[in-house]
Amino acid sequence: EAGVAQSPRYKIIEKRQSVAFWCNPISGHATLYWYQQILGQGPKLLIQFQNNGVVDDSQLPKDRFSAERLKGVDSTLKIQPAKLEDSAVYLCASTRGGEAFFGQGTRLTVV
Partner 1 sequence: QQPVQSPQAVILREGEDAVINCSSSKALYSVHWYRQKHGEAPVFLMILLKGGEQKGHEKISASFNEKKQQSSLYLTASQLSYSGTYFCGTGLYNQGGKLIFGQGTELSVKP
Binding site for partner 1 (CB under 8 A): 31, 33, 35, 40-45, 48, 50, 55-56, 91, 95, 98-105
Closest-CA residue to 15 (of 81, 66, 108, 90): 81
| Least gap, CB of 105 to partner 1 (angstroms) | 6
d(CA 92, CA 2): 14
Name the residue nearer to partner 1 (CB basis): 35 or 65: 35
Identify which of residues 47 and 82 has a Cβ nearer to partner 1 in the complex.
47
22 vs 81, which CB is nearer to partner 1? Answer: 22
CB of 71 to partner 1, least distance (A): 20
With respect to partner 1, which residue has the nearer C-beta, 54 or 80?
54
Least Å distance, CB 28 to partner 1, is 16
**CB of residue 62 vs partner 1: minimum separation in angstroms?**
17
- Pairing of the two strands 19-24 and 75-79: antiparallel
